[in-house]
Amino acid sequence: IYKSINGGKEFHKVQGIPTTARRKRVLQQDPNTPNVIYAGTTEGLYRTANAGVTWTLMTANDVIINDIYVDPANSQHILMATDRGGVQESLDGGLSFHSSNQGFSQRQVSSLVIDPKNPDTMYAGVLNDKRFGGVFISRDAGLTWTQISTGLEDDDVYALAMSPEGSLLAGTNHGIFRWDNAKWNNVGHRLKGVT
């Protein structure tokens, strides 16, 4: 992790996360407390409360984190997309996590997207599960999930995004798809992967 305090002119390496957790997959700043930042690594979730001066491991070090969501309406509510553990939820600012996977048939979650117009609506992209994978939707803030993968044809979903006009997009191993009329439609060329 590198940090700049002069608008990106210079960066310095942030210390405090062990070199064994070298692969950082995601950084997420608390939208209400800018000095609080979460780092999702291949060896657990780390949190700093002082803008990177010191870091604390918040999970076991065998948790691989692919994405993090900090609820802007309640910073104590955190979701993590993980390998092998699906979606994990915390209601106490990351002190403890529990599974939020009712409706999932697969547990390697690549990405999370929250609908900005309705924060109770969430989408999760999953990998490596063919017809049981794809994209899942929750309409109850992550409590239960339903698969919405018609049109993806067993593709792995590497990334999810919401366009400014509200369209849900999925980056897959066969291009970019848009969710329209209860079906995924290919809107991009074949890609080897989307990050």
Name residues of the chain where pLDDT drops below 70: 21-22, 104-107, 129-132, 189-195
| CA 97 remoteness from chain centre | 15
Average model confidence (pLDDT) across the chain: 87
Question: What are 46-60's pLDDT values in tens digits?
Answer: 999 999 999 999 998
Distance, first Cα to last Cα, the chain? 18
The two structure tokens encoding residue 102:
């009712």
Residues 97 and 92: their CA atoms lie apart, in Å, by 8
pLDDT in tens, 6-42: 988 999 888 888 877 668 889 999 999 999 999 999 9
Residue 105: its pLDDT value, please?
A: 61
